[in-house]
Structure 1
Amino acid sequence: MHKMPYVLNSIISQLFSEHIYRVLALIATIAMLLINNSALAAVTCDAGFISDNFDIADYTSLAPVTSPVTSPPNPKIDQNIAGISNESYLIASNVLTTNGILSAGGVNIYQSTNIPVTTEAAQVFRFYQDFANKTTTRTVSYTFKNKFTNQPQALNKLGLSVFDIDTNYAGYTSSGTSRTDYFEFFDQVIITGFTSANPTTPITPIIQSKGSGISSSAPYRQTNTTNSVSCGGLDDNCKVSVAFNQPIVKVDITYGNNVNLNYYDQSDDNGDGIQLNDPGDQLIDIRFDGYCYKPQPRLTYKKELSGPRKANTDQFTVQIKDNADSSVVTNGITSTTTQGSGNTVTTGTGTTGTFKVNPTKTYTLTEAIAGTTNLADYAASYVCKNSGNNEVVTILDPKNIKMTYGDNWTCTITNGRPNYVFSGIVFNDNGKITNPTKDDVSDKYLNNNLYFNGKYDSPTESGIPFTTGHTITLNKCAGDTGTFTSQTMNINPDGTYSFTLTPAQLGSNTRLCATQNEPNNYTYSVDTTSNVRQINIKNNTFNYPDNNFGDVIQDNAALVLFKSQYVHDCSLTDLTTISVNYTGSASTFYSTNPISNIIPGQCIAYRIEAVNRGNMPLTDIIIRDPLQKKGENGALVTSTLATPTPIGENSGVPSFSNSSVSIGNNGQVLTNGFPLGITSSDRRRAIRFNTKYSTTVNP
């Protein structure tokens, strides 16, 4: 600001006018429209660092512009710095401290303002003070923190300029040959910095440029001490620009007067018009010229396909998840879903673009389906590269991505040829029958088409809960000579299982077999399906579901046997003449009632009926019935096979094995294998044979 020199004799009236002019000029300057400081040259930073500086909004947030001008000032702390390089993790504070005394009633202002000049306009911090004496100083301190950690944030190559370091020569007094010069003010500035390693040890910056009359070392002030040096705005004659060669977390700018000179103020204590050593109001302007720091980590995540989609409509959405809460931090990015067909991902889709991440957090790279896509059909691989040199990030866990300042990665998820998925369920094939009975052939079973049909009828039927040792093995089938590494897994708690194979794991095999391995204590011990399922591999088919295994408990077995007997005097010549009435009298019909009062030497004719109450044909059924023999299983007498010849009721079916016991001998009645169907005409088959007890009954 321009200050005119005065002769001492006219000091009282003219200095008062000067004070009013300076305050009005200050108010007018602060009220000007703010203009962007875009013409300021950027700091040249080392590799891996970016150049940044305060934006206009950062000046005004730290030192708000108010109207009218407020005194005392109100600097702000912990303000988010927007900067000019699209960064967001710097927090700055500025505070004022006073060493000495300020003039009572004086104007003391610290505000953001704009200085228009011919070639540019600069936003500055205006530091306007009225010191009570020449030894009083005031310091404005700028500190920097990291938004993510709240810890000190070092800034490299921090540079700043202080303008309007000028003087106002008031005049002199003389006595003989002695002359005493007086000043209204004589600005001087000290600039120091501090590192995080030594927060109490000041560091002196290096001068980058200065006015020709400015001192070459601190304190920075004019070297002319006999006349005024008047400047305004961004005049280089009254400027000093400095930069630090160490990373700085705090800057102090201490403002005061040259203590080696004499001062006066317009107030008058003794009536002579002079008050010595009370400087008048004065100001400097502070501008940050720039700084360097490592940028917030950048991550670009994108999708590629090395092989064709399973279906051309399959699409994928890349996602970055915050591991702290599993939230998807890329939800708002519209380009994350792929477009295209075959193995082509349309350019500009399936990518997050360059995305800033929090360096204190960990992230998961994943993908979601779009439409009817099944991710299980695809094998995924991940690779991350440094965008600057294209080098691969070697230690990489896509579920635990941790980046630091300066990192700039491009991560790619590539889905190759689809995986093969083999799945199924071990289910209870009981048709949801409750209170099972092992010999019940009522409509509860016979008219329940879901019971024992070898099919998983969901939701009527459910999976069998896991039992320790209950596993499924996926292996090559018997007789195959190909190479395959067998895989075994426990069934899930709900009875399901699923194997996922890469194309390399499948190899050249054209079929595989899934085998159910039942534990020894398995309650569902009756199979309704085979325990081995053959799975044929088809071209361009990758999903093989419904390889299910059906089981039931013993009381729900499909095969039911009824054994009934008829006691007679051994004169029976035709076994088919005896009627069947399971609940009738044992002396008249084949009956299931207990035998009582049998006379030694009598005969007992037996009928054994096999019934299929399920909904699947049963094959290779064999009836075995050992005749009792004295001393075995508590038998008191020996029984032998007697005439007439054993018969199968259905035209000789079931037939009897050549190994079956012959007439007159004790042994085992044994049939050949026979089937049972699921219709009323073929779901029942029975045999009849006659036996004779010994003539005496002796224990």
Structure 2
Amino acid sequence: MTGRFIPVFNIVTPYSTWKKHVIAFVVITTPLMAQANPTGFGTFTRDTNTIAGSIASGTYRTAANATGKFKVTAGPSNGYNGSSVTVGDNGVEIKNESNAGSDRDKFTYTITITPDDITSLHTIKIGQTSYTTGGNSEIARQTLSFTKNPQINLPVQATVRENPDVGYFFGAMGDYFMGKKLAGNNFSSNNTISRPQLRVDSSNGGDSGLYYYSLTALNGTGNSSSFTPTTNANGQVTFASGQKRGTLPPTPTFTNILKETSTNPNNQNTYASLNTSTVIPNNGSYVSYGIENAKSNYVVAVRNAESVTLTYEGIMKGNSAIEADVVGETYNEWVSFGVESEPYYYVFSGIVFGDNGGITAAEADASNANITSGAYSNKPDYFNGLFNSASESGIAGSTVKIVNNCDNPTITYATQSVEASGSGIGTYQLKVPITDLGSRTSVCLLEERSDTIYPIRTTTNKKIVTLENAKYEYQNNNFGRVIDQNVALVLEKEQSANDCKVTDITSLTYSKDPLSSSETGAGADIKPGNCIAYKITATNRANIDINNFVMRDILQKKGDNNAAVTSKLVNPSYQASDYASDSVPIGENGTVKTVPLSLGARTHRSFYFNTQYGTTQSDTVNTP
């Protein structure tokens, strides 16, 4: 991409090395103009301290607000005095500085990106310039190699995104493209031609070279708008003495050196236009024609790429500025990289964790109802349904899946076993292509396990996730479990013998110790016909409420579980509103049952009822 601003086709006097430097100097000192095409390359911010080994590094944000990190490294270069880098709101642009007296100019750059998000598919874009509007390109071969982004399981693919018709630049193209027959032996140069800039690389086989020459440098008369060549006996033309501007192709009859009228098949058919959506294979090449920076609008897009390496080499034979047979002598050349993104995945993640609040397995005790001292006191993270990373860790053994419906799943979109070991134990990350969910507004996450190591849930195993507009990542869908010994609810049963004449069973003295016939309560021996009152205390050790709690206790019945007598419920009753309508009535044997109740976090509640035992001689269940 040359730095010449002024066409030189009318200048006859050969350029010296000094004058070539003068032209390059103009480009370097010219301020940036209005933003050039193409657009949508993303906003790039450069690091204050560039990553070692790179010429530029920093962060980027795509037009769709996906973010990531980038770095640009330089490979082999020939024919340039270094480079300068521009970043901003339209990608990263690299300008290769001019160098006099060298041909076969070539440079290589690699851009590597690391996306921050895991929901979007990132595409690296390549264009001519994204900021500079002065100057123009030379004809060059561009070779691409690329690597896949490992975050998304899709192949990497380079395609021609844009290749519109643009006006060719005479100072970079030469009469091979711009010359035109007027009439008879009269020809003109510097004609207006608008064609696609990117071309199929036809470098293999035959004479597919691209030649630069100037009409007015040939033997003949006239000027750039009308020229009559001088030919030899074979009809071939030559450069005038001291006026060589470029290189002529083989058998240079005037007809054959004009692409428009050439009878040479190689001149007619080489470097066909590169169609939009054409796939460029890894390590494949294409040719870019000489276009002014302000008009260049081609885009090559490498979808799902982690890195792209572009090698740019000048291939035009001949030069407008020096009198020499050179190949690919260019001036300042530009290349721009950008990044765009498209939503691709819904990502659902979380952890299955042991909700023990830091209580060790050795401290865990299913019968410990003490919440004021000991292992279960002052443990706000225990059994709270939340993952507290400071005191808790993930657990292995669970599987998490995404289904279409929590209650009646018929479609499973993704399934994953949680991490089984390491720092990420218990974690999962499920990805579902956006297209798989179509117009759904919600999905369901299910957590399951087959072992019995952590049988008690501290959260639901079903989570409905509502899909929000333009939101593709859903984190912290966590599932809590505990071992048997860390159960939230502890039930303690105590008893007190009485003579069946008490009026307030809450005032009795209760004991967890077994009763015997020698023990008394309220002055009564334990014997058939007397009563035993029961106190059942339910303690919620957890840091979440227990809802829909129902307490049941089955009165003993002769013959069941080796019971010698049958007991029945008797007065006095306590807190009658606590008991369900189908609870055993006074005077009957059966199940004492409460209505569904709530038990607040870190609280306890006691339930009382009185029973009377029948005689061992009774054969009738309902007879005391």
Structure 2 length as normaliser, TM-score?
A: 0.48
Structure 1 length as normaliser, TM-score?
A: 0.43
Q: Which has the larger radius of gyration?
A: 1
